[in-house]
Amino acid sequence: MPKPVLLTVDDDPQVLRAVERDLRERYRQDYRVMRAASGAEGLETLQELAARGVPVALILSDHRMPEMDGVEFLKASLPLFPEAKRALLTAYADTSAAIRAINQVGVDRYLLKPWDPPEDGLYPALDELLAEWRLTYRPAFEGVRILGSRWSPRAYELREFLARNHVPYQWLDIESEADDPDLKRLRAVVDAGAELPLVELPGGAQLPAPTPADLSEHVGLQTRAEQEFYDLLIVGGGPAGLAAAVYGASEGLRTLLVEREAPGGQAGLSSRIENYLGFSTGISGSRLAQEAVIQARRFGVEIVTQAVTALRADGPYRVLELADGSSVSGHAVILATGVQWRALDVPGLAPLQGAGVYYGAGTTEALACKDEDVYIVGGANSAGQAAMNFARHARQVMLLVRGASLATSMSQYLIEQIEQTPNIRVELNSSVVGVHGTERLDAIDVHCSISGQTQTLEATSLFIFIGAEPGTDWLSGTLERDGRGFILSGPDLMHGGKRPKGWPLDRDPGLLETSLPGVFAVGDVRRGSVKRVASGVGEGSVAISFVHQYLARV
């Protein structure tokens, strides 16, 4: 496969040469740098690259160009390479136009001229864009292959598992008519009796219908702790858990993080988080999770992919029981298990989960929905972010909102972006009351609370974002929880000024501490938490100071 292309476009020959020079200096090992002297020439170049199947990673365009300015050019390039990252090179006087381009056209970043030295003004921004592009780029493949049906719940589960763990894989749809030699070869294995979905590992080994747990060790994920005892055990690898891991390990605590599925939690499924401090053009949840995992491992955090089934006290120690029958002990525990999407209570919907009905952002499904109509249920930020992501691929995105306004539950910046996206349609006062389909979703019934009418719409993809609930049943009888299952901590444990029943210490529970001393709850799983990525990160980092205080007393 040819190297991915970095294309720079500018009508000023001197600036064009300077940009090309700096790009080659930094990126020539991994990318091919090309240039064009106008928007029209740039489009011709992109058309040629698309016809030859050459990937384009980044398009960097000057703003002020005759005939076609930079914003118009970047917008025109979208159909040719929708996954390429786009940056606008502009003067300080044009920053308002650049910001409009980010909001209206989907430009990923704007850079100011002059950018010297490039180590400060150019490379950091481009490094970040290219790292994010590589997360979704699928080069000529030498990794895991999955053969299955798009409508298979097990195949969807495997794809989502690998994507969220940043394991590169190639998806082969058994119903595809593509003339692909790998598709034909693996079809023959299925015809000979292998069960779908069929997974082929690097090196050629094949796994018929594996579970994510079966696949974990084969793709390099650690499933067992290396030690029996740690200073700090963290359950859950969302933003709160990862923050706790980074701060704990950086302050000298031997730290183990146990995550059931994949680091990032619900935030890791977000296509774009645009209001997280420090990222002016936003950051994908996947990229944020990946960077946090790298940071945690750099400080020595051990990360294990396992489900935790029980928590218990053993004298001064705290013990986690794991799904494989093993256990691990530590001085202190931080629970950062987050929340799970609440199920939509519609008859017949559960059997279609993974076969047209999905909870969460469906990171692996966006490309599969190209030129289709997509329905999204929900009116909060997660639903809005998903709508913006799917709008890049789908023919139309229908946002079904039970309330009378988006303003009560969605950030204003997202509302404005949705209003400016022509293929997103918002239906207020609307809810899904029925689904149709046997092996896959065929149609949905949508009820309008204003008119009282229900209409049946053809649908193949329904994504649900209707709030969340904690999955804390495994803590029943161990920790105090509220009626919805959220963990009580700190002042919430004090009933009429009295300490929780069975509390053994001569002090009140600390802030974020649960009804079991030395066990702390952070992030969305804790009652009263603010459901934001930044607040989860804050709680995870602050909890480490309480862990130190606890360890100093025991």
Instruction: Please indicate, yes or no, whether residues 268 and 329 belong to a single structural domain of this protein.
Output: yes
* Percent of the chain whose pLDDT exceeds 90: 57
425: CATH: 3.50.50.60
Each residue's pLDDT tens digit, 35-65:
999 999 999 999 999 888 889 999 999 888 8
Q: Which residue has the higher pLDDT, 137 or 169?
A: 169
Query: What is the pLDDT averaged over residues 139-165?
Result: 86
Averaged pLDDT, 3-32: 92
Choose one of 187, 219, 251: the last residue of a domain. Answer: 219
Model pLDDT, residue 178: 81
Q: How confident is the model at residue 24 (pLDDT cuts 50, 70, 90)?
A: very high
User: What is the SS3 assignment for 508?
Assistant: coil
Which of 115-119, 279-283, 371-375, 518-522 has maximum average pLDDT? 518-522
CATH number for the domain including 65?
3.40.50.2300
> What is the band of 464 on the pLDDT scale with cuts at 50, 70, 90?
very high
Lowest mean pLDDT among 104-108, 316-320, 470-474, 530-534: 104-108
Q: Is residue 344 a part of any domain in this protein?
A: no
How far is it, in rounded angstroms, from Cα 63 to Cα 86? 12
Least confident interval from 273-282, 424-433, 460-469, 481-490 = 273-282
Phi, psi of 61 (to 5 degrees): -125, 140
Q: Are residue 462 and residue 477 in the same domain, yes or no?
A: no
Answer yes or no: do 191 and 239 share one domain. Answer: no
The more confidently predicted of residues 65 and 233 is 233
Overall average pLDDT of the 436-450 stretch: 94
330 shares its domain with 474? yes
- pLDDT score for 405: 93
From 127-131, 265-269, 411-415, the region with the lowest mean pLDDT: 265-269
When the pLDDT of each residue in the chain is averaged and rounded to a whole number, the result is 89
Question: Is 37 part of any domain?
Answer: yes
Residues 213 and 285 in one domain: no
* Interval 174-201 mean pLDDT: 90
Alpha-carbon 24 to chain mean position? 31
CA 169 – CA 271 distance, rounded (Å) = 19
pLDDT band of residue 285 (cuts 50, 70, 90) is confident
Whether 224 is in a domain gets the answer: no
Query: Which residue, among 143, 153, 135, 260, has the nearest Cα to 199 in the 3D structure?
Result: 143
Residue pLDDT, tens place only, 296-310: 999 999 999 999 999
What is the average pLDDT across 472-485? 94
| Residue at token pair 């006087």 | 93
Do 161 and 98 belong to one domain? no
Same domain membership, residue 123 and residue 10: yes
Cβ partners under 8 Å of residue 444, min gap 6: 375, 432, 434, 435, 436, 456, 457, 459, 462
Asked if residue 16 is part of any domain, the answer here is yes
Q: Name the domain boundary from 466, 489, 507.
A: 466
Q: Which two tokens stand for residue 240?
A: 């709160």
The CATH number of the domain holding residue 170 is 3.40.30.10
The alpha carbon dihedral of 173, 179, 182, 187 has a sign of positive
100, pLDDT greater than 80: no
Boundary residue ending a domain (190, 219, 248): 219
Q: Which one is predicted more confidently, 365 or 475?
A: 475
Residues 16 and 121 in one domain: yes
For the residues 97-102, what does the mean pLDDT come to?
Answer: 72
> How far apart, in whole angstroms, are the C-alpha atoms of residue 300 and residue 493?
34
In whole angstroms, give the CA distance from residue 272 to residue 525: 22
Supply the pLDDT for residue 330. 97
- The pTM (predicted TM-score) of the whole model is 0.73
What share of the chain has pLDDT > 70, as a percent? 96
pLDDT exceeds 70 at position 363: no
Q: Specify the number of domains making up the chain.
A: 4
pLDDT, position 140: 60
Tell me: do 86 and 156 sit in the same domain.
no
Poorest-confidence range of 159-168, 320-329, 333-342, 394-403?
159-168
Question: What's the pLDDT score for residue 174?
Answer: 92
Residue 168 lies in a domain: yes
CA pair distance 11, 466, nearest whole angstrom: 49
Shared domain check, 371 and 446:
yes
Confidence of residue 136 (pLDDT cuts 50, 70, 90): confident
Tokens of 458: 């053809």
**Confidence at residue 139, expressed as pLDDT on a 0 to 100 scale:** 64
Residue 114 has pLDDT above 70, yes or no: yes
Same domain, 440 and 389: yes
Q: What is the pLDDT of residue 35?
A: 93
Identify the pLDDT of residue 543.
96
Q: Note whether 329 and 375 are same-domain residues.
A: no
Cβ pair 248, 544 in contact under 8 A:
yes
What's the sign of the alpha-carbon dihedral 95, 99, 100, 101? Answer: positive
Q: Which range, 19-28, 249-258, 498-507, is most confident?
A: 249-258
Range of the domain at 117: 5-136
Whether residue 266 is predicted with pLDDT greater than 80 in this model: the reply is no
Torsion over CA: 160, 163, 164, 168 (sign): positive
Residues 410 and 381 sit within 8 Å (Cβ to Cβ): yes
